[in-house]
Structure 1
Amino acid sequence: MKPVPNDVVERQLAWRYATKMFDPAKIISDENWQTLEQTLVLTPSSFGLQPWKFVVITNHEVRAKLKLASWHQAQIVDASHLVVFAIRKNLSVTDIDAYIARIAEVRGTTVDSLAGFRKMLVGTMSKPPIDINEWAARQVYIAIGFFMATAALMGIDVCPIEGFEPEKYDQILDLTSQGYSACVVAAAGFRSDADKYANLPKVRFRTDDVIQRIS
């Protein structure tokens, strides 16, 4: 498989920014959206446990309600797609068993052969100092990072959003009853020509200030 050239990666990551204004008339194609969804599916997580759900919302009425719970940020309704990154609340042995069953299914093995791995997972995830919901939130942030980087390589704009009321999102999307809770949001689409932030120089500390090399 041929890798993406270095200059393309750097150029696209420099091109991306947290888009403040989306063009509502520009919609992500179904083909491109399927790739972005697979980015979420393929995101790595600790132990592979995938303690998340990704709620993709294109319904305008639902997004109008979410805008009210997002400090009226226009990206919520103007972007092509909206993704709510939700954590699996209070991950349990039942969730671990579902993962073990999936491993057996995909890899053509037996649940019994994975007993040692299961025991390790149950022991690790149920003892201090792990706060299981905090741990799940950290996994979700890996997913949004994957999503944003892939979108940039595809020339698709994203705005990550933490400015919202999780409890209201949970209620509007009926997440609580499913055992999930909203953690972070991503609006995806295409920047508006009127967005004054699009062409501002990207401000980052110098490489030597943030990269320490030990040879």
Structure 2
Amino acid sequence: MDTFEAIYQRRAVKHYDPAQDMSDDDERKLMEAALQSPTSFNIQNWRFVVVRDKARRALIREAAWDQAQVTDASILVVVCADLRAWDREPERYWRNAPEAARDMLVPMIKPFYAENAELQRDEAMRSCGLGAMTLMLAAKAMGYDSCPMIGFDPARVAEIIELPEDHVIGMLLPIGKAAKPAWPKPGQLPLDEVVIRETF
């Protein structure tokens, strides 16, 4: 599927065919695409928890206002981020870079994030969004649908997936085959309201 076609056809689908499974090969293809998502300083702080276990997904559904897509989609991805990725051997993020780039950038990483919890969290959420969008577009291009979700209790979901304390959850992302089409687009704002030229 053409990139623009995937962008325009991607919708937040709420109803999935629970009988539709996703092959291991398709799951791997999706996750490998997600790893192409950009991150600041290439710290690759997104973490993608793929939940297939029915019992665990039922618990997550309880924590997500009983939304059926959590259990009915082929897979559920909990899009998370490691708040301390910047401090975990940052030289490995640049091991294949030209020496000049490596020597310049690696020493900048820790000072940039250290002692700035707000920036660490902001970076985590940016990365979650970029990773999730990559997954959604890749899924659409492969014939799957998806639904980014913030309607859930993050503390409870964190317990269910045994999230480390220095990680955060950005969103839930069910991916599968639609059982019903999404609603028509409810109303896009006009271009001239959201695209600002130079200054407000």
Task: Check whether TM > 0.5.
Answer: yes
Amino acid at match of 1:210: V
Displacement of 1:149 after TM fit? 1.4
Equivalent residue for 1:76, pick from 57, 70, 80: 70
Listed as ranges, the matches of 1:130-209 within 5 Å are: 131-176=119-164, 179-192=166-179, 195=180, 198=182, 200-201=184-185, 203-209=187-193
Deviates more, 1:204-213 or 1:155-164: 204-213
Amino acid at match of 2:131: A
Give the Cα–Cα distance (whole angstroms) in 2 for the partners of residues 92 and 16 of structure 1.
32
Displacement of 1:181 after TM fit? 2.5
Listed as ranges, the matches of 1:31-180 within 5 Å are: 31-91=25-85, 93=87, 95=88, 98-104=89-95, 106=96, 114-126=102-114, 131-176=119-164, 179-180=166-167
Q: Which of structures 1 and 2 has the bigger CA Rg?
A: 1
**What is the aligned-residue RMSD (CA, Å)?**
2.6
Displacement of 1:68 after TM fit? 0.9
Displacement of 1:86 after TM fit? 1.1
Give deviations 1:152-200, integer Å, cap 9, x for gaps: 22221000011111111111111125x32222110000111xx3x5362
Displacement of 1:22 after TM fit? 0.5
Instruction: Give the secondary structure class of the aligned counterpart of 1:70.
Output: coil
Deviates more, 1:122-131 or 1:67-76: 122-131
Amino acid at match of 1:20: K
Instruction: Give the secondary structure class of the aligned counterpart of 1:176.
Output: coil
Q: Which runs of 5+ in 1 are unaligned?
A: none
Give the Cα–Cα distance (whole angstroms) in 1 for the partners of residues 117 and 53 of structure 2.
40
Give deviations 1:65-99, integer Å, cap 9, x for gaps: 11111111111100000000112134553x2xx23
In 1, are the aligned partners of 2:43 and 2:86 still within 8 Å (CA)? no
Give the Cα–Cα distance (whole angstroms) in 2 for the partners of residues 144 and 126 of structure 1.
26
The residue that corresponds to 2:194 in the other structure is: 210
In 2, are the aligned partners of 1:90 and 1:133 still within 8 Å (CA)? no
Displacement of 1:102 after TM fit? 4.6
